[in-house]
């Protein structure tokens, strides 16, 4: 008998006033009882719309029915047959726009907590290990594939190919594996130990990883293929240069990109006393932008003890961040200054930031993106007293690979041009993730890695 | 891990390290830099390459002890390993097609100026050099500079060696003496590069400077190394590190580099105290 409660089982989490002072994980995860109860809310639809909403097509009703039966290990097998990084997706996917957005239960009440269940299954597996020992490593097929970048796109592509027997090497520019999962997304939202576990699993399947290797500088795509014998290359090098507003004062001391702020905190652990990496400890911070990265930066700044404002030019309804992140940020005491846009950064005689001048906005007709266009209200400027401004406005694709790979077609925005299989203008060179689309989500990058892995397998298995 | 195969104290606070890093050595060009991390808790710091040997698979850097990371580095010995050593990063210096150039190096910046000077020389240019130091005890690489340049002026701030005064004075003398340079190339403290650029500007001599702003990843991700050059935002790690010295917004660059000064000072003292305690 299905559980017909209109509400999801709530997610146990740290108290907002406690967690906004530490970097431990916010959401604590379902217990076995909660997971089974939530799983029973799934109607096991004949034509499951949720699966279509998932970029990697996780067999959702199938894994949820295993959870309902208490067969958590089997549920894990179902998920990982299409998704290499379930503990990560269960935490950072924008489920409300994907699987849960399609859930039939969401029409009258709340959708099934698919993301929470995915997380539960992955965490259960990580805590209890695999029944019957580690999964078998497939026989090598003798084909060599290089993956550039160890973020969600690269790890997914590498994982899928390794499971098919390919000899895969991942090249990572930074000293740690995980790309945006380690330098961008904070510990309190995605513990780094979880990323490390997922990476260890890929290594178990034979994936080799080379850190400290910048493709485009240390080695080029052509050298990977011509000198090192890789038959195909997947480029998942991620987003690149952060965007800044073209306003006066944007280079003052105390103005930094969200990428820089988050990298210092997440990758370099600069909030811990042992770390040699410097970090500013601002008193009042304005984070400009409304996406997940803006929420992450704001919540990190809060944890460093600052009073934090989110400055966003549209309204609360239009915030592009995951709904849960916005809710968590509000609970933690982040102040939202929506419908307002910076026009100037103010500083003292030493160039230290002392404020941000904003102008009020109102929403006009929808623009090309379908969202209502923000319009300045003349004469409505006002100053906000802050000593730090963090720009979270997105990024443009990294220039290193395109400038060192001849014949690689690039679009106007700097993204690598690919066809529906992820194939670039160069033979046997594939690409996906933010390097192609510009800043997007973890799961879309994973979807692209998966598509490319399938295409690479088709191309190489014919050889 | 990246092994130190040779360590040589050039001066009490200036040390040469030859590091095993075959992939970096294979690709390195004068003007490029690397990023290193000493240990697990280490900061990523950019250091410009002094020399490289593709056959031996080593890269040489010359480092002055100025902060926590360089202090930690100075306690490593031959045979020890660095946690990370990434590169070569940035664009190589353009050295071809020049007939006559003057290379200006300041302090430990001379370590970086040298390979650029040598490359200019190897490309067939007539090379003059001006190198400046605080005092006699800090002079480095003089013989190497002399071997690759037809005119060499060594300056010290206090006059304890060579010519007394600033590199800009010596550079101006060379220009006033009728030397027509296609390019002046300057590497050293930011203030020195600023005044070299100011010196050459009235003569209209193209001037290239090698910038070393705040940086974390060095691959075009964090945006910490941004500079204003000719009114445009540039990123030293991917657009540089070389820029037109006449176009750099120097006041901004100098101030931005002081962003973490307090932290760095504190961390340096803390690190020094730690080593002192260990020694006791």
pLDDT at residue A139 greater than cutoff 90: no
The answer to whether the CB atoms of B89 and A244 lie below 8 A apart is no
Q: What phi and psi values does residue A406 have, to the nearest 5 degrees? A: -70, 145
pLDDT band (50, 70, 90) for residue A397: confident
B248 to A419, B93, B191, B209, B233: CA distances (angstroms): 41, 17, 12, 9, 10
**Among A332-336, A386-390, A396-400, the least confident range:** A396-400
If you write DSSP's letter for every residue of B189-241 in order, what string do you get?
A: -HHHHHHHHHHHGGGT--EEEE-----SSSSSSS-TTEEEETTEEEEHHHH-S
A13 to A29, A92, A112, A188: CA distances (angstroms): 8, 15, 18, 11
Distance from CA of A251 to the nearest CA of B (A): 7
For residues A453 and A233, give the distance between their C-alpha atoms in angstroms, rounded to a whole number. Answer: 10
Percentage above 70 pLDDT, chain B: 100
The whole-number average pLDDT for the span A326-331 is 95
pLDDT of B260: 87
pLDDT band (50, 70, 90) for residue A462: confident
pLDDT of A120: 97
Mean pLDDT (chain B) is: 92
pLDDT at residue A99 greater than cutoff 80: yes
The answer to whether the CB atoms of A257 and B41 lie below 8 A apart is no
pLDDT of B278: 80
**Among A14-18, B254-258, B276-280, the least confident range:** B276-280
pLDDT of A381: 96
Dump pLDDT digits (tens) for A224-244.
Answer: 999 999 999 999 999 888 999
pLDDT of A1: 64
Distance from CA of B272 to the nearest CA of A (A): 13
Assess A130–B contact: CB distance below 8 Å, yes or no.
Answer: no
Q: Could you report the predicted ipTM of this complex, rounded to two decimals?
A: 0.92
For residues A159 and B20, give the distance between their C-alpha atoms in angstroms, rounded to a whole number. Answer: 31
pLDDT at residue A442 greater than cutoff 90: no
Residue A376 corresponds to which tokens in the numbers above? 């300045």
Distance from CA of A333 to the nearest CA of B (A): 27
List strand residue ranges (DSSP E) for chain B, in order.
Answer: 2-11, 14-20, 33-37, 45-48, 51-53, 58-64, 81-82, 84-89, 100-106, 126-133, 151-156, 163-164, 183-187, 207-210, 226-229, 232-235, 242-244
Assess A213–B contact: CB distance below 8 Å, yes or no.
Answer: yes
Is residue A6 within 8 Å of residue A109, measured between CB atoms?
yes
pLDDT at residue A202 greater than cutoff 80: yes
The whole-number average pLDDT for the span A388-397 is 91
pLDDT of A131: 64
Assess B43–A contact: CB distance below 8 Å, yes or no.
Answer: yes
Domain map of chain A by residue range? 16-128, 144-239+396-461, 244-393
Instruction: List, as ranges, residues 139-178 from B with C-beta within 8 Å of A.
Output: none
The whole-number average pLDDT for the span A338-361 is 96
CB contacts, 8 Å: A263 with chain B = 216-217, 221-222
The whole-number average pLDDT for the span A121-145 is 84
Assess B224–A contact: CB distance below 8 Å, yes or no.
Answer: yes
CB burial of A306-345 (b: ≥16 within 10 Å; e: otherwise) equals bebbbbbbbbeebbbbbebbbebbeebebebbbbbbbebb
Q: What's the predicted TM-score (pTM) here? A: 0.93
CATH homologous superfamily for the domain A16-128: Alpha-helical ferredoxin (1.10.1060.10)
Burial zone of A463 (CB within 10 Å; 0-12 exposed, 13-18 middle, 19+ buried): exposed
- Closest partner residue to A278 (CB to CB) among B23, B72, B264 is B264
Assess A218–B contact: CB distance below 8 Å, yes or no.
Answer: yes
The answer to whether the CB atoms of B252 and A251 lie below 8 A apart is yes
pLDDT at residue A191 greater than cutoff 70: yes
Query: Which CATH code, of 3.50.50.60, 3.40.50.1360, 3.40.50.300, 3.60.15.10, is assigned to A244-393?
Result: 3.50.50.60
Dump pLDDT digits (tens) for B147-179.
Answer: 889 999 999 999 999 899 999 999 999 999 999
pLDDT of A133: 64
pLDDT at residue B280 greater than cutoff 90: no
Dump pLDDT digits (tens) for A101-116.
Answer: 999 999 999 999 999 9
pLDDT at residue A268 greater than cutoff 70: yes
CA-based nearest residue to A124, from A202, A67, A60, A68: A67
pLDDT of A300: 97
Dump pLDDT digits (tens) for B202-237.
Answer: 999 999 999 989 999 999 889 999 999 999 999 999
pLDDT of A344: 97
**Among A277-281, A291-295, B261-265, the least confident range:** B261-265
pLDDT of A138: 84
pLDDT at residue A132 greater than cutoff 70: no
Q: A144-239+396-461: what fold?
A: FAD/NAD(P)-binding domain (3.50.50)
Mean pLDDT (chain A) is: 93
Distance from CA of B113 to the nearest CA of A (A): 21
pLDDT at residue A304 greater than cutoff 90: yes
Dump pLDDT digits (tens) for B258-278.
Answer: 888 888 888 888 888 888 888
Does this chain's domain A16-128 share its CATH topology with A144-239+396-461? no
């Amino acid at each position: 008998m299905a559980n017909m409660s209109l509400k999801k089982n709530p997610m146990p989490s740290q108290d907002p006033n406690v967690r906004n002072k530490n970097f431990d994980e916010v959401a604590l995860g379902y217990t076995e009882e909660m997971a089974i109860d939530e799983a029973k809310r799934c109607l096991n639809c004949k034509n499951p719309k949720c699966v279509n909403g998932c970029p990697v097509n996780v067999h959702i009703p199938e894994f949820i029915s295993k959870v309902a039966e208490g067969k958590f290990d089997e549920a894990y097998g179902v998920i990982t047959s299409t998704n290499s990084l379930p503990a990560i997706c269960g935490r950072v996917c924008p489920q409300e726009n994907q699987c849960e957005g399609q859930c039939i239960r969401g029409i009258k009440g709340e959708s099934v907590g698919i993301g929470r269940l995915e997380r539960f299954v992955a965490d259960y597996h990580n805590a209890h290990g695999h029944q019957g020992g580690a999964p078998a490593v497939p026989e090598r097929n003798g084909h060599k594939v290089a993956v550039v970048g160890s973020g969600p796109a690269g790890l997914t592509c590498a994982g899928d190919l390794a499971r098919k027997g390919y000899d895969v090497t991942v090249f990572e520019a930074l000293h740690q594996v995980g790309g945006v999962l380690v330098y961008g997304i904070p510990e309190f939202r995605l513990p780094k130990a979880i990323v490390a576990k997922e990476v260890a699993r890929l290594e178990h399947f034979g994936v080799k990883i080379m850190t400290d290797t910048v493709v485009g500088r240390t080695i080029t795509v052509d050298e990977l293929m011509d000198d090192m014998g890789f038959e195909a290359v997947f480029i998942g090098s991620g987003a690149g240069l952060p965007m800044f507003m073209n306003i006066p004062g944007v280079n003052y001391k105390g103005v930094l990109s969200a990428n820089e702020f988050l990298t210092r905190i997440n990758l370099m652990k600069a909030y811990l006393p042992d770390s040699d990496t410097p970090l500013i400890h601002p008193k009042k911070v304005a984070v400009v932008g409304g996406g997940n990265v803006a929420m992450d930066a704001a919540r990190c700044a809060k944890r460093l003890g600052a009073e934090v404002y989110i400055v966003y030019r549209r309204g609360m309804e239009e915030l592009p961040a995951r709904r849960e992140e916005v809710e968590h940020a509000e609970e933690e005491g982040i102040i939202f200054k929506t419908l307002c846009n910076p026009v100037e950064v103010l500083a003292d005689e030493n160039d230290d930031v002392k404020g941000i001048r904003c102008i009020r906005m109102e929403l006009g007709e929808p623009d090309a993106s379908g969202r209502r266009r923000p319009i300045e209200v003349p004469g409505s400027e006002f100053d906000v007293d802050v000593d730090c401004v963090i720009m979270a406005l997105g990024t443009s694709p990294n220039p290193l690979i395109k400038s060192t790979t001849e014949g690689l077609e690039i679009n106007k925005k700097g993204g690598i041009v690919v066809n529906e299989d992820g194939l670039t203008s160069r033979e046997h060179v594939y690409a996906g993730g933010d390097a192609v689309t510009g800043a997007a989500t973890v799961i879309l990058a994973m979807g692209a890695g998966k598509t490319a892995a399938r295409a690479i397998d088709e191309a190489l298995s014919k050889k | 891990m990246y092994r130190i195969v040779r360590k040589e104290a050039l001066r009490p606070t200036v040390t040469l390290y030859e590091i095993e890093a075959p992939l970096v050595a294979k690709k390195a060009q004068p003007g490029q830099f690397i990023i290193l991390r000493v240990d697990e808790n280490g900061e990523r710091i950019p250091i410009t390459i002094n020399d490289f040997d593709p056959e031996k698979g080593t890269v040489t850097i010359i480092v002055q002890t100025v902060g926590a990371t360089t202090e930690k580095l100075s306690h490593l010995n031959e045979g020890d390993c660095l946690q990370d050593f990434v590169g070569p990063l940035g664009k190589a210096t353009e050295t071809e097609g020049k007939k006559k150039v003057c290379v200006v190096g300041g302090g430990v910046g001379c370590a970086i100026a040298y390979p650029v000077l040598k490359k200019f020389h190897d490309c067939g240019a007539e090379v003059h050099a001006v190198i400046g130091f605080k005092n006699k005890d800090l002079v480095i690489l003089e013989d190497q500079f002399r071997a690759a340049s037809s005119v060499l002026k060594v300056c010290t701030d206090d006059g304890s060696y060579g010519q007394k005064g600033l590199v800009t004075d010596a550079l101006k003398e060379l220009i006033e003496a009728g030397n027509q340079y296609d390019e002046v190339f300057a590497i050293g403290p930011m203030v020195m590069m600023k005044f070299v650029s100011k010196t050459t500007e009235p003569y209209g001599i193209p001037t290239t400077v090698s910038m070393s702003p705040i940086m974390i990843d060095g691959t075009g991700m964090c945006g910490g190394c941004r500079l204003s050059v000719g009114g445009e935002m540039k990123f030293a790690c991917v657009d540089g590190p070389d820029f037109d010295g006449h176009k750099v917004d120097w006041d901004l660059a100098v101030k931005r580099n002081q962003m973490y000064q307090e932290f760095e000072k504190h961390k340096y003292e803390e690190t020094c105290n730690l080593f002192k305690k260990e020694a006791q």
